[in-house]
């Protein structure tokens, strides 16, 4: 097989990244923007030892699941993967992806419950971070073109609420008139790096944060007052100073320009305080459903000791705290632990304690001290759990382990490891927190083998 050759093929599956897969002369060829069932002519663009990449040369017979993309920049932007297929089709792909992970990587055959899809594929995100650039003498906001840091001006991302676009479009010309300059990554000059928005899904409270290389506070004093009159839901305006040459968006130093330092929202009925730096699921409605599935798997009766590893600001554990005897949370980021403690106090939850540190190290110590949780909840980052955490968690011999994961592949790998330590993977449910994109979450119930 060689570059630029054209073959006829049919898409028979999807990769975890959302590219279609077809087989040509025994080679797997990955073709983006396709759908399972497409018959097409594929132009080969890159050949590696065991697989190749192609692009659509001609779509001979489109698959049933296809639809017209509802976003004008779908092909340029790397944000969404699935806007060319119906949401129903997307959910089928995601359910299959989770099933494949557990069967192939985990060698497991749990009961797969139907995927919990979102209500909408538009406007569901509660947070946006728009890179700012200067183009033709004007300030623009948008997204980075795929595989690059070139800003494509666009303020109406389909995943964001309309309100975000309204705020940005109102703001940009005012900032320009005030002489605010855009940060240049290449030269490390200029002021404004990103505009950051976050809105409480239930409360409606909106936060605006200016991420800057050097302070623009003086230049925008008037705008800050004006914008609160124009958009009264903005209750927090802050400036995040990030003077470093880095891809990390937010800096460490945050100053309040107007209103509060945080916004308030509710998550699973508990009030939460959010700063721009707090980790918070971007799709609140679906996160609440995700945690509800986790709670049902935990099957709490009120007498349990619950251990919540990788607890962030405590959201999951706190949503279960009223149904257990006591809750212990573990999280590595000190600010998140501080948030978790405040969230517990603010909601009158007195049976919770939180430790700051590595999940594995703290779990190991708890185990050595004889702590015996009835249920353990694990919500690790994409790379999954390490062996220390798995051994310590299994070693405490809880009745049930509930894993919540944003990466089905590492979740399956970790469940397999738990299997070797006496835990059977019983149920798995995919929950779609990121409609339109290639990401999918899953909840897993593991139980201690009766044997």
In degrees and rounded to multiples of 5, residue 181 shows phi and psi of -105, 155
The yes or no reply on residue 405 touching ligand SAH (CB under 6 A) is: no
Scanning the structure block, which residue is given the tokens 């690059």? 148
Q: Are 38 and 75 in contact (CB under 8 A)?
A: no
The yes or no reply on residue 97 touching ligand SAH (CB under 6 A) is: no
Angle 77-80-84 from CA coordinates, rounded to 5°: 105
The least CB distance from residue 88 to ligand SAH, in Å, is 27
The yes or no reply on residue 332 touching ligand SAH (CB under 6 A) is: yes
The stretch among 228-236, 329-337, 416-424, 436-444 that binds ligand SAH (CB under 6 A) is 329-337
Q: Are 30 and 20 in contact (CB under 8 A)?
A: yes
The yes or no reply on residue 38 touching ligand SAH (CB under 6 A) is: no
Of 312 and 436, nearer to ligand SAH (C-beta) is 312
The yes or no reply on residue 236 touching ligand SAH (CB under 6 A) is: no
Q: Give, for 38, the enclosing helix (H) or strand (E).
A: none
Q: What is the CA radius of gyration of the chain?
A: 24
The least CB distance from residue 287 to ligand SAH, in Å, is 7
Tell me which residue has its CB nearest to ligand SAH.
Answer: 312
d(CA 413, CA 107): 9
Of 126 and 281, nearer to ligand SAH (C-beta) is 281
Out of 205, 331, 374, 432, the only residue in the binding site for ligand SAH (CB under 6 A) is 331
The least CB distance from residue 336 to ligand SAH, in Å, is 5
Of 333 and 349, nearer to ligand SAH (C-beta) is 333
d(CA 191, CA 291): 40
Of 62 and 381, nearer to ligand SAH (C-beta) is 381
Beta carbons within 10 angstroms of residue 348's beta carbon: 8
The stretch among 74-82, 180-188, 326-334, 424-432 that binds ligand SAH (CB under 6 A) is 326-334
The yes or no reply on residue 417 touching ligand SAH (CB under 6 A) is: no
Angle 120-121-122 from CA coordinates, rounded to 5°: 90
How many residues form the binding site for ligand SAH (CB under 6 A)?
A: 17
Scanning the structure block, which residue is given the tokens 């779509």? 59
The least CB distance from residue 358 to ligand SAH, in Å, is 4
The yes or no reply on residue 132 touching ligand SAH (CB under 6 A) is: no
Binders of ligand SAH in range 269-288 (CB under 6 A): 279, 281
The least CB distance from residue 342 to ligand SAH, in Å, is 14
The yes or no reply on residue 336 touching ligand SAH (CB under 6 A) is: yes
d(CA 6, CA 44): 6
Tokens found for residue 107: 């060698």
Of 200 and 312, nearer to ligand SAH (C-beta) is 312
The yes or no reply on residue 201 touching ligand SAH (CB under 6 A) is: no
Binders of ligand SAH in range 285-314 (CB under 6 A): 310-313
Of 84 and 364, nearer to ligand SAH (C-beta) is 364
Scanning the structure block, which residue is given the tokens 């790096």? 193
Residue 418 to residues 304, 377, 395, Cα–Cα distance (Å): 21, 13, 10
Q: Are 267 and 292 in contact (CB under 8 A)?
A: no
Q: Which of 22, 209, 406, 415 is catalytic?
A: 406
Q: How many helices (H) and strands (E) does the chain have?
A: 9, 23
How many residues does this entry show for the chain? 451
Scanning the structure block, which residue is given the tokens 């990449």? 53
Of 122 and 333, nearer to ligand SAH (C-beta) is 333
The least CB distance from residue 309 to ligand SAH, in Å, is 7
The yes or no reply on residue 31 touching ligand SAH (CB under 6 A) is: no
Q: Of 54, 45, 61, 46, whose CA–CA distance to 23 is shortest? A: 54
Distance from first CA to last CA of the chain, Å, rounded? 53
Q: Give, for 207, the enclosing helix (H) or strand (E).
A: strand 206-212
Out of 62, 381, 395, 422, the only residue in the binding site for ligand SAH (CB under 6 A) is 381
The yes or no reply on residue 354 touching ligand SAH (CB under 6 A) is: no
Torsion of CA 81, 82, 84, 85, to 10 degrees: 160
Beta carbons within 10 angstroms of residue 419's beta carbon: 17
Out of 42, 128, 257, 316, the only residue in the binding site for ligand SAH (CB under 6 A) is 316
The least CB distance from residue 316 to ligand SAH, in Å, is 5
d(CA 294, CA 401): 10
The yes or no reply on residue 388 touching ligand SAH (CB under 6 A) is: no
356 is catalytic: no
The least CB distance from residue 23 to ligand SAH, in Å, is 37
Q: Which residues pair with 378 in a beta bridge?
A: 309, 403
d(CA 168, CA 191): 17
The yes or no reply on residue 196 touching ligand SAH (CB under 6 A) is: no
List contacts with ligand SAH (CB under 6 A). Answer: 279, 281, 310-313, 315-316, 330-333, 336, 358-359, 379, 381
Q: What are the residue numbers of the active site?
A: 406
């Amino acid at each position: 097989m060689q570059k630029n050759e054209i073959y006829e093929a049919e898409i028979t599956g999807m990769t975890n990244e959302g590219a279609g897969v077809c087989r040509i002369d025994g080679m797997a060829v990955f073709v983006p923007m396709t759908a399972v069932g497409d018959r097409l002519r594929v132009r080969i663009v890159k050949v590696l030892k065991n697989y190749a990449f192609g692009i659509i040369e001609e779509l001979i017979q489109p698959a049933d699941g296809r639809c017209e993309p509802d976003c004008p920049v779908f092909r340029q932007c790397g944000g969404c993967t699935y806007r060319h297929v119906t949401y129903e089709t997307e959910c089928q792909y995601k359910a299959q992806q989770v099933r494949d992970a557990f069967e192939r990587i985990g060698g497991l055959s749990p009961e797969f419950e139907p995927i919990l899809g979102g209500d909408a594929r538009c406007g569901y995100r509660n947070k946006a971070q728009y890179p700012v650039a200067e183009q033709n003498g004007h300030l623009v906001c948008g997204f980075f073109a795929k595989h690059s840091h070139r800003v494509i001006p666009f303020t109406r991302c389909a995943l964001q609420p309309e309100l975000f676009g309204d705020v940005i479009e109102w703001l940009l010309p005012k900032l320009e008139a005030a002489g605010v300059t855009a940060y240049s990554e290449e030269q490390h000059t200029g002021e404004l790096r990103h505009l950051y928005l976050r809105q409480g899904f239930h409360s409606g409270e909106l936060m605006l944060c200016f991420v800057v290389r050097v302070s623009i506070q003086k230049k925008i004093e008037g705008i800050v007052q004006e914008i609160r009159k124009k958009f009264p839901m903005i209750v927090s305006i802050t400036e995040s100073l990030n003077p470093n040459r880095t891809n990390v968006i937010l800096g460490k130093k945050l100053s309040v320009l107007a209103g509060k330092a945080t916004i308030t929202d509710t998550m699973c009925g508990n009030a939460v305080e959010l700063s721009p730096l707090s980790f918070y699921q971007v799709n609140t409605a679906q996160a609440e459903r995700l945690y509800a599935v986790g709670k049902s798997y935990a099957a709490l009766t009120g007498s349990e000791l619950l251990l919540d590893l990788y607890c962030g600001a405590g959201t999951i554990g706190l949503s279960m705290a009223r149904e257990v005897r006591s809750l212990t949370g573990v999280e590595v980021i000190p600010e998140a632990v501080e948030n978790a403690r405040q969230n517990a106090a603010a909601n009158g939850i007195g049976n919770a304690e939180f430790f700051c540190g590595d999940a594995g190290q703290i779990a190991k110590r708890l185990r050595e001290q004889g702590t015996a949780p009835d249920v353990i909840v694990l919500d690790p980052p994409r790379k999954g759990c390490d062996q220390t955490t798995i051994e310590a968690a299994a070693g405490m011999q809880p009745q049930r382990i509930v894993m919540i994961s944003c990466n089905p592949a590492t979740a399956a790998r970790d469940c397999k490891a738990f299997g070797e330590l006496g835990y059977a993977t019983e149920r798995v449910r995919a929950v779609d927190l990121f409609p339109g994109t290639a990401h999918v979450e899953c909840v897993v119930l593991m139980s201690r083998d009766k044997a």
